[in-house]
Structure 1
Amino acid sequence: MNYWLVKSEPFKYSWDKFNQDGRTFWDGVRNYQARNNLREMKEGDLVLFYHSNEGKSVVGIAKVVKESYQDPTTDDKNWVVVDLVPVETLKHPVTLEQIKADSRLQNIGLVKQGRLSVMGMKVEEFDRIVELGS
């Protein structure tokens, strides 16, 4: 299993809306590195859901339920989506400040590549954020 983090601005697509929908395809990715990460996602992989710009915190855990396929919002074959379902809301959102202050998360992509919207994570990083949020 692999571990990931995806970012969404809450006013565009929030964790609450995701939970209401129950399933979504992760679209709108227009960065090649983020797109490549989507292509690497496998069914069953776990994904942290991060609210960017507003809130700046990890708020929940999702799961990949369908591997990459053509992004239905564009005809450009370069872009793909994956399907995600919500799994669990964190009891306490884990803020970017908390993540930056944690010595075990010093090399996390969220800090090192802050603008990337889809990034891989080490299991230790994923588990630490879940621990901080429980």
Structure 2
Amino acid sequence: MVQDTLQFGTVGDDIAGGWLPVVLRGLVVLILTAPAVSKFLRYSDRAANFAAYGIPAPEITVLLVGVAQLFAVVTIAAGAAGRLGALVTVPVMLTAMAVDAVNVFNALVLVGCVGIVLLGTGNYSVWEPFRFGE
């Protein structure tokens, strides 16, 4: 006699593995897009801010941070190597918190990026090369 077994997935698995990362992606992209674009549209203002914070080579650093943030926005939004984009963003947010101040926006981006690094990009990802535990 064959015994049928029922296998139940937990709600937490579906949320953490599928939809929570999508929410984190949306949150990070929503918050990070404007500051990333402003590094280029308001370059001289951003460079002056970086200089006021005491960041070395502010003219170059603004461009590097802007490129890193745009890379993160594109990869996280598409779900294509989103973990890499999120990982690149973590030191940027930690530096922003250290030199300026902790605010709701950079804290949300930091938490969102750490979540994406740990959980992946979830449903509707184009490409996720770094999967843990598989």
Q: TM-score, normalised by structure 1?
A: 0.24
Which entry has the higher C-alpha Rg, 1 or 2? 2
More strand as a share of residues: 1
More helix as a share of residues: 2
